[in-house]
Amino acid sequence: MKHRNSSLGIRWTALALLAAMLAAFTGCKQESSTGTDTPRPGKKLVVGFAQVGAESDWRVAETKSIKDEAAKRGIELKFSDAQGKVENQITAIRSFIAQGVDAIILAPKVETGWEPVLKEAKAAKIPVVLVDRGISVSDDSLFATLIASDFVAEGKMAGEWLAKKTGGKAKIIELEGSPGAAPAIDRKKGFAAGISAFPEMKIIAAQSGDFETGKGKEVTETLLQQFGKEVTAIYAHNDNMALGAIEAIKAAGKKPGQDILVVSIDAVKAAFQAMVAGELNCTVECNPLLGPAAFDAVEQALKGGTLPKKTVVQDRVFEQSGAAAELPNRKY
């Protein structure tokens, strides 16, 4: 009897050890990883999108493109509107990391200040795809890729168009974008390059309108009070500021598009309407419909595929003369 009890005890001990091993193995399998590991079949992809805000028609169109594409692909999108504040974007990214999203799409407000939070995303194995604006970091492995237009080229196209239109002679107000933002920095640099061969193309005043219609109007009103008799052209880093400038020109008793030429960047529908009205002379395209390319990049990154560090979106110049024909084709 004693021998039988001993045998039973050994059997129960062996069974207990086997059960423990199976539980440990099962527990390991149940843990889900994020980042470059491909999500399990049937698992819904979850992506966080840290947007700058809704300061312009262009930004609204970009947000819609990304939301629409997420819905089309059956991806759960966690969206954050930073209302123009970098600190809100950083908080949103940390929240996405805490929630264990599969990937993050970031439209950075400014170029600098991203390394700490992107290091946190990298440590969590969550790939980050940048859209429309680049960043300045010491380690470019902190983001998977950047999908954006060439802002320097856009500014240069605007400058070259204005130089040709004016015969190389103009006194210009430059309405700059948000300080520290990649498009503001690069569009300024590109415009300067575009007019550099024309010594009589002079920027007599430059001030930030923060990419907003209201601020564009306010800044233009102030600068026209100071330099009104001299100004022959306005270059705005985006269409919304140009639209604000047009209102300020009217308020000053002058005709936009005639007394003062206006050139801007983005090519949103409202800019084409202003060209049809004869009030805006030219807009350089910057395509905001980045949703398909952004999610292609997300899916490629999650599969561990190789991505270029930057994909450049090709843009065009649109003049007032062709605005009416192009207006029905505008999707944003």
Residue with tokens 């039973």: 8
- How far apart (Å, rounded) are the C-alpha atoms in residues 209 and 233? 16
Give the predicted TM-score (pTM) of the model: 0.84
> Domain segments of the chain: what residues?
46-147+288-311, 151-287+318-329
Pick the CATH number of 46-147+288-311 from 2.60.40.10, 3.30.465.10, 3.40.50.2300, 3.40.50.300: 3.40.50.2300
**151-287+318-329 belongs to which CATH class?**
alpha beta
Does 151-287+318-329 match 46-147+288-311 at the fold level? yes
Query: At 203, phi and psi to the nearest 5?
Result: -85, 110
Task: Quote the tokens at residue 269.
Answer: 């529908």
**pLDDT (tens digit per residue) in 267-307:** 999 999 999 999 999 999 999 999 999 999 999 999 999 99
When pLDDT is averaged across residues 242-255 and rounded to a whole number, the result is 98
Cα–Cα dist 233/169, whole Å: 10
Nearest to 101 by CA among 82, 78, 129: 78
* 3-state class (DSSP) for residue 139: coil
Instruction: Tell me the per-residue pLDDT of 252-278, one tens digit each, with 9 for 90 and over.
Output: 999 999 999 999 999 999 999 999 999
